[in-house]
């Protein structure tokens, strides 16, 4: 299942290397294919 673009999402885990914490809200702006053919990634914009 894919979320629609520009949907607001909340992070499910901490991402300390990006300075983000679980519960931070972001906007889904794009999907990115995985170069190895695995699950695609998401591009998020955090305000």
Q: What is the pLDDT of residues 1-46, one digit of tens each?
A: 689 999 999 999 999 999 999 999 999 999 999 999 899 999 999 9
Which residues make beta-bridge pairs with 10? Answer: 25
pLDDT at 1: 64
Give the predicted TM-score (pTM) of the model: 0.77
pLDDT at 47: 85
DSSP annotation of 18 reads: G
b/e per residue 19-39 (b: at least 16 CB within 10 A): eeeeebebebeeeeeeeeeee
pLDDT at 35: 92
pLDDT at 2: 85
């Amino acid at each position: 299942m894919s979320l629609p673009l520009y949907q607001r999402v909340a992070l499910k885990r901490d991402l300390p290397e990006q300075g983000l914490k679980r519960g931070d809200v972001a906007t889904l702006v794009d999907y990115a294919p995985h170069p190895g053919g695995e699950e695609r990634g998401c591009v998020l914009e955090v305000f």
